[in-house]
Amino acid sequence: MQSANDLSETAQIAYRAFVDMRRSKNAHFTLLQAIENAREAGEVPSPADSRELEKRLAEHDRNVLVFTTAMAAVTDEAEMQVLVRLMS
């Protein structure tokens, strides 16, 4: 087993949850960095920026919960090792 396609359905769900969690983390931090750069340039973030940042953080929080739950469902040690390799 070297790819996510070789995993059981349970492990594939966990891997997809990891991908979603990584994507939402990157989206949140990208916006956070843009807002910080704007502040450093003397700009004031708009209320829309703040709402979008909150939205992205909430999405990431949900994805972390889904990932944690999905990983707990993976009980096969060999699949767990493959997942760890795929996630690193």
* Domain chopping of the chain, boundaries: 4-87
14: number of Cβ within 10 Å:
27
Could you give phi then psi for residue 76, rounded to 5 degrees? -80, 120
What are the pLDDT digits (tens) for 13-38? 999 999 999 999 999 999 999 999 99
Residue in the structure block whose two tokens are 């991908």: 19
Residue in the structure block whose two tokens are 């996630």: 87
In this model, does residue 45 exceed pLDDT 80? yes
Question: What average pLDDT does the structure give for the chain?
Answer: 95
Which of 86, 85, 83, 58 is CA-nearest to residue 73?
A: 83
Q: Is the pTM of the predicted complex or chain greater than 0.85?
A: yes
